[in-house]
Amino acid sequence: MFLMREGNENAVSAGGTVKYLCILVLLVLCAPVLANQTSANQSAGNQTATNQVPASQTAAVDVPVVDGGIGPCKADFTVKDGNGKPLYDAKVSVTLRYGFWSKRKTDLQVGTNSDGKARITGLPDAPKKPLEFTIKSGTVSKTVTDDPSANCTATFDVTMTVH
């Protein structure tokens, strides 16, 4: 090479060979570990695939959820008409007041699904006043009240009738 003596040329190629031999030994030693991880992942994937239930067999329709993000409480609603049939897209709304002197507010609204169900999560667990939920479908509206400090997981079955 450029400024090498004849004796050093063999030393350089021997040093390169040692590096390649070390890498080769490392790969040979790590191969069984990598093979075990791959087979474990494949068998776990096969177990998951055999335990999954097809979507066509799940009977429940997803419940629409809106999150207030203020606390741990929730309220579940089932809205039906006067004949007991679920109402689709009935609007459930609530205003959450919080902060210093309750100056901050968040207006939440969610529509019911085809089963007439809706859920509001993230409600405060100690509001200064009970929460008033307004349910509206067409021209008919109804108001229900809940105090999350007494009942953190409220459930409401609301029947909307035209007077």
E strands within the chain? 65-67, 73-81, 91-98, 104-111, 117-123, 131-137, 140-146, 153-160
CA 22 to each of CA 12, 34, 115: distance values in angstroms, whole numbers, following the listed order: 16, 18, 66
Report, at the CATH architecture level, how domain 65-160 is classified.
Answer: Sandwich (2.60)
- Using a cut of 0.85, tell me whether the model's pTM lies above it: no
Query: Tell me: the pLDDT tens digits for 105-149?
Result: 899 999 999 999 999 999 999 898 999 999 999 999 999 999 999
Structure tokens at 162: 């035209």
Please determine, for residue 67, whether its predicted confidence score (pLDDT) is greater than 50: yes
Query: Tell me: the pLDDT tens digits for 24-58?
Result: 676 667 666 666 554 444 444 444 333 444 444 44
Q: Report the first-to-last Cα separation within the chain, whole angstroms.
A: 102
Where does the pLDDT of residue 65 fall: very low under 50, low under 70, confident under 90, or very high at 90 and above? very high
